[in-house]
Amino acid sequence: MSDTANTFLALLARDLRVLRRQFGQFLVRTIMQPLLFVFVFAYVFPKIGQGFRGGANGVSFTTVLVPGLIAVAINFQGIQAVALPLVQEFSFSKEIEDRVLAPVPVWMVGFEKIVAGALQSLIAAAVVFPIVYLVHAHGASPTVHIHDVALFVPALLFSCVLAAALGLFIGTVIDPRKITLLFAVVVIPLTFLGCVYYPWARLSPVLWLKYVVLLNPLVYMTEALRASLTPELPHMPVWGFMLALVGGSAGLTLVALRTFSRRVVT
């Protein structure tokens, strides 16, 4: 194996070592939000008779939520796993100064961060799935099945890469002193306007919003998972979200690797 590939794998091994050590933390930050969400909306709400009628054709709200909350977990984890450590490394810990001295081109150090982030997003999706699938009140069970593996696998993988690339981009451009704004300005708007709690197609009554949210990468993740897991619900055409996921992953990766290189080599 080439020296470069060896170094790349060693960088990845280091990140996985750290993930293993901090797996408890990883679980807590991954699980809490979706767990509370399904607990309140899929369990408490039906119990107290405060209902939502989610999708069309009598599809339960929990069915709408499953792909949405998995996409949120992917997106949130990608940003969190890549951007937050990077911001720390750029500001007080300076670890990045040593990492870029690894004997590979600098862009590859950034690329490894995307791969490690995408892996964490994938694990987050796997962890969140049983929770959002299983936690609900009697009679409110979601209808979920992978109806097309050939669609589901690329949809899932590209969602993870897109989220991690977004994380690298944010981590390299945000001013470390303003990191506290990350959630207010980025994560929360992306989540609430990410077609998580409603299918994109049902936004037609608020037409301007239907088009504005197309700027939100999370929309394509939720729609892609919706098309793969809950095809009964209306969703964006496959070519639409796949184009956005693949094109967005490639484009954002290239941009983020550039901003990363510029940040570490002066």
Rounded least distance, CB 186 to other proteins, Å? 24
Residue pair 191/76 in contact (Cβ under 8 Å)? The answer is yes
Question: Which secondary-structure segment (H or E) carries 124?
Answer: helix 106-134
Q: Which is nearer to other proteins, 72 or 109 (CB)?
A: 109
Report the nearest approach of other proteins to the CB of residue 101 (Å). 5
Q: CB of 33: closest distance to other proteins in angstroms?
A: 24
> For residue 102, with 0-12 CB atoms within 10 Å meaning exposed, 13-18 middle and 19 or more buried, which class applies?
middle
When the beta carbons of 66 and 100 are compared against other proteins, the nearer one is 100
Smaller CB separation from other proteins, 88 or 141: 88
Q: C-beta of 103: minimal distance to other proteins in Å?
A: 4
Cα torsion angle, 195, 197, 200, 205, sign = negative
Q: Name the residues that contact other proteins, by CB under 8 A.
A: 3-4, 6-7, 10-11, 13-14, 17-18, 21-22, 93-98, 100-106, 264-266
Strands (E), 58-197: none
- For other proteins, the closer CB: 29 or 202: 29
Q: Which is nearer to other proteins, 25 or 50 (CB)?
A: 25
- Dist. CA 180–CA 153, nearest whole Å: 34
Q: Tokens standing for 209?
A: 């919003």
Angstrom distances, CA of residue 30 to CA of 75, 216, 253? 11, 21, 23
Closest approach, Cβ 5 to other proteins, in A, equals 10
